[in-house]
Chains A and B, each alone.
Chain A
Amino acid sequence: DAEITQSPRHKITETGRQVTLACHQTWNHNNMFWYRQDLGHGLRLIHYSYGVQDTNKGEVSDGYSVSRSNTEDLPLTLESAASSQTSVYFCASSFQTSGSGELFFGEGSRLTVL
């Protein structure tokens, strides 16, 4: 079955290290998104992509980067992890130009920065 998967599911790292969270979807969706989920803030958009070679900043993009070299993957990189980036990260995807508002979410990646 087509799906969206994230890895690793849990990660502990130290301040200053580079971390990459992987997101892979097999639906052939053009749209992909990264959100972080924090208590009191809900889900906040970090970066998004509407297709290969397209990347855009969301509302909380500082300290994060993404790349889209193919349709299936949108890896999220923390260049130099900070304790403020301890969070649960969700990847999501949707059909191209659907405008339906239906995002399909991964299971989440819990990142702890010590």
Chain B
Amino acid sequence: AQRVTQPEKLLSVFKGAPVELKCNYSYSGSPELFWYVQYSRQRLQLLLRHISRESIKGFTADLNKGETSFHLKKPFAQEEDSAMYYCALQYNTDKLIFGTGTRLQVFP
């Protein structure tokens, strides 16, 4: 069965430090993976998708099929990056399974 694992519930860093939010998945098919973000008092929204290979707000994520991982990275964290981050796997038309989420706290 498909599964998404985010091992860290909370990640705390200081402004300017590098950030890596871990995501591992289990899926027998060809994975399509996403990162969603929920800022305080805002709606959950798509941050980026692996197929686009894009950088959004300085964040990137590379799909590593060998390690079944899709870690989210940013070289220099900003205070406004503080939010809840969810990794998600698409296993049917727009059906997503989400990880348990990682709360990122960026201290000044």
Q: Which residues of A contact B (CB under 8 A)?
A: 31, 33, 35, 40-45, 48, 50, 59, 90, 92, 94, 97-103, 105-108
Contacts and interface: CB of A to CB of B under 8 A. Distances in A.
Interface of chain B, main secondary structure: strand
Contact of A43 (B43, B46, B90, B98): B98
B49 A31 contact: no
Interface in B91-108: 93-101
22 contacts: A31-B93, A31-B94, A33-B94, A35-B98, A40-B9, A42-B86, A42-B99, A45-B97, A50-B93, A90-B44, A92-B44, A97-B93, A98-B93, A99-B32, A99-B90, A101-B46, A101-B88, A101-B90, A101-B96, A102-B94, A103-B46, A105-B45
A99 B93 contact: yes
Given A101-B32, A105-B44, A105-B45, A40 B100 contact: yes
Contacts, number: 57
